[in-house]
Amino acid sequence: MKKMVRYGVFLLIVAFLAYHSVYFKRLDEVKAGTASFNAAKYAEEFWNKKLTPSLSKSAEAGQLLSLLRSDKDKAFKDHAHALGIGNIKYFLIKGTGKVTDVEENQVLIKLESDGEKPEMRIATEYVFGNAVRDASGTIDINAFSNSMDFNNVSAEINEIIREKVIPAFKSKVKQGDVVEFAGAIELNQEHLKLDNIEIIPISLKIRNL
Per-residue pLDDT of the chain (209 residues), as tens digits, is: 544 545 554 555 545 544 444 434 444 444 444 458 999 999 999 999 999 999 999 999 999 999 999 999 999 999 999 988 889 999 999 999 999 999 999 999 999 876 667 899 999 999 999 999 999 999 988 889 999 999 999 999 999 999 999 999 999 999 999 999 999 999 999 999 999 899 999 999 999 75
First to last CA, the chain: 99
Please report the pLDDT score of residue 29 as a whole number.
47
Contact, 39 vs 152, CB < 8 A? yes
Give the start-end residues of each E strand in the chain: 59-60, 80-81, 88-102, 106-111, 119-123, 178-188, 198-206
Say which amino acid occupies 160. I
Cα 54 to chain centroid distance, Å, stands at: 14
Please report the pLDDT score of residue 21 as a whole number.
45
Residues, the chain, total? 209
Task: Please name the helix (run of DSSP H) or strand (run of DSSP E) that holds residue 20, with its range, or none.
Answer: helix 2-21
Closest CA to 83 of 8, 144, 13: 144
Q: Beta strand 88-102 with 59-60: parallel, antiparallel or unpaired? A: parallel
Please report the pLDDT score of residue 27 as a whole number.
46
Please report the pLDDT score of residue 8 as a whole number.
52
CA atoms of 37 and 43, how far apart (whole Å): 11
Please report the pLDDT score of residue 32 as a whole number.
47
CA atoms of 64 and 75, how far apart (whole Å): 7
Please report the pLDDT score of residue 13 as a whole number.
55
Please report the pLDDT score of residue 68 as a whole number.
96
Q: Beta strand 88-102 with 80-81: parallel, antiparallel or unpaired? A: antiparallel
Cβ neighbour number for residue 95 with a 10 Å cutoff: 24
Closest CA to 134 of 84, 74, 67: 84
Could you give the 3-state DSSP secondary structure of residue 34? helix
Q: Is 162 exposed, middle or buried (0-12, 13-18, 19+ CB in 10 A)?
A: middle
Q: How far is CA 169 from CA 31, 96, 177, in A?
A: 39, 15, 11
